[in-house]
Amino acid sequence: MWFQSYPTRSVNELNDTYDYIIVGYHRVSGGGTAGCVLANRLSQDPSVSVLVIERGGVNNGWITRIPFLSMQFVLGGSSTRIWRSSPQKHMDDRVFELAGGHSLGGASKINVMLYTRGVPGDYNGWSHAGREGWSYDDMQPYFIRSETDLDQDPQEHPEFHGVKGATIKASEALGIPYVEDLNSPLHPTYGCAKMHFAVDAKGYRSSTLEAFLPKYLAIARMRHLHVCTNAAVTKICMESDEKDTPTARGVYVQTAKSKGPRPCLVRARKEVILSAGPIGSPQVLMLSGIGPEDHLREYGIPVVKDLTSVGSHLQDHIGIALQYRVPLKDSLAKLQLQPWIIMKELMLYLLFGMGLFLAPFLELSIFLQTRLFDSEYKTVAPTPEDQDAALPINVPDIEVMPIAWSDAAVSKSSTRDGGLGFLVVILRPTSTGTVRLASRDPLADPDVDPNWYAKEHDRAVMRKGVRFTLRLHEQLVAQGYPAHPYLVPASESDEDIDAFVRAYSQTTYHYSSTCRMAPEVPGSPMGGVVDDRLRVHGVRGLRVADSSVFPHILSTHLAAATVAVAEKCSDMVKEDNS
């Protein structure tokens, strides 16, 4: 089987009809983080036919499986597609590059592989808001179902133990305990945590392609599971049923080339499932006539369902890196400044499955509840209730990630210094943005406005996170660790921190909530797009299953939760069509 290529189909090789169609779109993947999971689960029954439509290709060469080399959110590459945000008015009109997956496996092929469930209070917050079946206890079985191939304990990197141990001690001095298992629901929601990676037992990146839709499985199911690559869905085929309810009957699909043949119609007997991500899913809906009525009419699109909230409530974790010079031995900069080390590390990885290429980060991240800070930015937890991870009020609102790299702090002319960055990330932003059409051309980029820092709440939380990180650096220095400031705010005043944040903040590529799960509120962008079973409001035969359905962004990295949503969606689809 090893000599066979991955079984894919072109547009002109597709059947006329399938039971289920999993839809990807343009900059993101139907066969993406969630799509591969859905394809696996829905095709378990050989009597059920499934079509997966992927904008990119398979792209599963050996380099894409090496953890360090496949981190293409940062490095760029053929598995990544880039588009540009609108100018950000709260960040000096800066324009940002936004990234998405562009191959089977989607973002799970290019992200930094962190596997974090999030704390129970996040999901319990969904449940308390009325989302039936979405509490942490409801979600836990779906995490467990998918963890065998996705959640691995990271390898210890002895070459980084100096800064790692110093960071743990510095955190403890500020009231932050060390947490051995970040994904345990039993520890407090604040802590200096050992991270887990989506790396398999052999040391390869464990994307959802390899975990859920590997070549051997695609070959075994190729009679009833078809994967169509290098193809784009232009819109969903909408018809009315006997009760005049809009119903998804299939999709129009064409080659991904800008001047390919006209789209052809592929029908769905049971359901169409959008898994195109928080940018692509609302774009497909709007091109299909489902979205804000005034916006659709602006582009001459016939309105099938006036659903004002489509494309609204876009959220992302925005971050800012405080950067320091550190000993070269403690930094990945040694790969740049001493390139002969690359060959050594590559051989260590290929021969023994160890070394820097196994994982690109330090094994730590620091989660904080800023409401527990005292005047010195130490964490104080006066009651057991403050440590209860099940309570939504205790969800962390800041993450500080020590990263063994700093663009600003590393000079190519230096052979002595490395760089260390502390990436401070807002986990519970209140600012929301939008995804809107920029054209009715289905291959055109949408207009994406993250609207970061629109709310004073977010700016205030970031100030606290920055000041905590400055205290963390002070503790490192007090222990004798040589970390010298390189790119930090000019002072700790609100004005200087705000100026620093406006100039240097960056996306963490954690987009969510543009097709959020909530009740429909006619005429209001604050309503929902899908119900508690992920069905689009007012439309039959159409669901959404990706991070766009999150009622609000989770206070964690989103890959594990996206996979769990897909697992849960597959069960609901089977139940509703049995």
Cβ atoms of 408 and 204 within 8 Å: the answer is no
In this prediction, residue 31 carries a pLDDT of 40
Inform me whether the pLDDT recorded for 377 exceeds 50: yes
**Annotation-wise, does 233 bind a ligand?**
yes
Q: Does residue 563 contact residue 34 with C-beta atoms inside 8 Å?
A: yes
Residue 407 has what pLDDT? Answer: 64
Q: How confident is the model at residue 252, as a pLDDT?
A: 96
User: pLDDT tens digits for 274-329?
Assistant: 999 999 999 999 999 999 999 999 999 999 999 999 999 999 999 999 999 888 78
Among 440, 106, 414, 74, residue whose Cα is nearest residue 283? 440
- β-strand partners of 423: 321, 401
Q: Where are the beta strands (DSSP E) in 309-358?
A: 318-327
> Whats the size of the chain, residue-wise?
578
| 3-state SS record for 163-183 | HHHHHHHHHHHCCCCEECCCC
Tokens describing residue 17: 């009809």
Domains of the chain: 155-194+318-426+454-504 (3.30.560.10)
Q: Residue 557 catalytic?
A: yes
Amino acid making up residue 571: D
Instruction: Give the pLDDT of residue 105.
Output: 54
Is residue 455 within 8 A of residue 313, CB to CB? The reply is no
- Identify whether the C-beta of residue 543 lies closer than 8 Å to the C-beta of residue 569: yes
pLDDT tens sequence across 7-48: 999 999 999 999 999 996 544 433 457 888 999 999 999 999
Of 148, 145, 91, 177, the C-alpha closest to 381 is 177
Are β-strands 542-544 and 264-274 bridged in parallel, bridged antiparallel, or unpaired? parallel
Return the closest-CA partner of residue 326 out of 423, 417, 422.
Answer: 417
pLDDT at 75 over 50: no
Measured at the CA of 550, the angle between CA 451 and CA 369, to 5 degrees, comes to 75
User: What CA–CA distances, in Å, run from 342 to 104, 404, 416, 511?
Assistant: 28, 16, 17, 33
Would you state the pLDDT for residue 112? Answer: 65
The pLDDT > 90 percentage for the chain reads 62
Least confident of 87-96, 121-130, 254-263, 393-402: 254-263
What do you get for the CA distance between the two ends of the chain, in Å?
34
- Does position 119 have pLDDT exceeding 90, yes or no? yes
- Of 106-110, 260-264, 433-437, the poorest mean pLDDT is in 106-110
Mean pLDDT on 400-409: 76
> Of the spans 67-76, 354-363, 470-479, which averages the highest pLDDT?
470-479
**DSSP helix/strand/coil, 383:** coil
Report field, pTM of the whole predicted structure over 0.85? yes
- Write down the pLDDT at residue 62: 67
Residue of 328, 576, 301 whose CA lies nearest to 440: 301
Q: Parallel, antiparallel, or unpaired for β 17-23 and 264-274?
A: parallel
Q: Which residue has the higher pLDDT, 403 or 39?
A: 39
Percent of the chain with pLDDT over 70: 84
**Which tokens go with 527?**
């309503």
At residue 189, does pLDDT exceed 80?
yes
Of the listed ranges 6-20, 88-102, 355-369, the one predicted with least confidence: 355-369
| Catalytic residue (one of 317, 510, 537, 552) | 510
pLDDT at 78: 46
Instruction: Give the closest residue to 51 by CA, choosing from 7, 18, 5, 13.
Output: 18
Residue 338 has pLDDT above 80, yes or no: no
Of the candidate ranges 66-70, 120-124, 432-436, the one whose mean pLDDT is the lowest = 66-70
Q: Which tokens belong to 550?
A: 């999150």
1 against 527, higher pLDDT: 527
- Please give the single-letter amino acid code of residue 24: G
pLDDT of residue 360: 57
Average model confidence (pLDDT) across the chain: 87
Q: What is the pLDDT of residue 244?
A: 85
In this prediction, residues 136-152 reach a mean pLDDT of 81
Q: Encoding tokens for residue 2?
A: 């090893």
Per-residue burial over 206-233, b = 16 or more CB atoms within 10 Å of its CB, e = otherwise: bbbbbbbbbbeebeebeebbbbbbbbbb
Instruction: Work out the average pLDDT over 79-92.
Output: 83
Is the pLDDT higher at 423 or at 559?
Answer: 423
Give yes or no for residue 332 having a pLDDT over 80. Answer: no
Judge whether residue 161 has pLDDT over 60.
Answer: no
Instruction: Say whether 485 sits in a helix, a strand or coil.
Output: strand
Question: Which tokens belong to 488?
Answer: 């930090």
128 is known as an active-site residue: no
Closest CA to 115 of 140, 80, 74, 143: 143
Give the alpha-carbon dihedral of 170, 173, 176, 182, to 10 degrees. 40
- Nearest C-alpha neighbor of 323 from the set 240, 244, 402: 402
User: pLDDT tens, 505-547?
Assistant: 999 999 999 999 999 999 888 899 999 999 999 999 999 999 9
